[in-house]
Amino acid sequence: MPVLTVEGVGSFPVPDGKRMVLALSEDAGIDQLHACGGRARCTTCRVEFVEGEPSQMTKAETAVLAAKGLTGVRLSCQILCDHDMTVRAISRLAGSGRADAGGQPLVELLEQWLSP
């Protein structure tokens, strides 16, 4: 079982293949934003990797990060927890001014992986 470590929060075993956005909210218990429901459209679910960044990205993640000119961040809704990872949760409900973190993210990824 992979371990997801959230800087300043703790380390949490998560089921293999679970979407990181779900692991952050359900397993780590943090208020991770995900306004578009995990569809890689809004970039509110951003995280910064400290260790264990996956080499693969979905087509959707690649496109939205490029379109918004974002570097050094990844979208937790497009990452599967399949190995140990350490992240900074930089996009949280607290202090965002939003009414809620977002609708329930889908369990499965909709996009196909790009080659590393």
What is the pLDDT averaged over residues 9-21?
Answer: 96
What would the pLDDT profile of 48-104 be if each residue is shown by its tens digit?
999 999 998 998 899 999 999 999 999 999 999 999 999 999 988 787 888 777 777
Q: What is the 3-state secondary structure (H, E, C) of the chain?
A: CCEEEECCCEEEECCCCEEHHHHHHHHCCCCECCCCCCCCCCCCCEEEEEECCCCCCEHHHHHHHHHCCCCCCEEHHHCEECCCEEEEECCECCCCCCCCCCCCCCCCCCCCECCC
What percent of the chain has pLDDT above 90?
63
Taking the complete model, does pTM exceed 0.85, yes or no?
yes
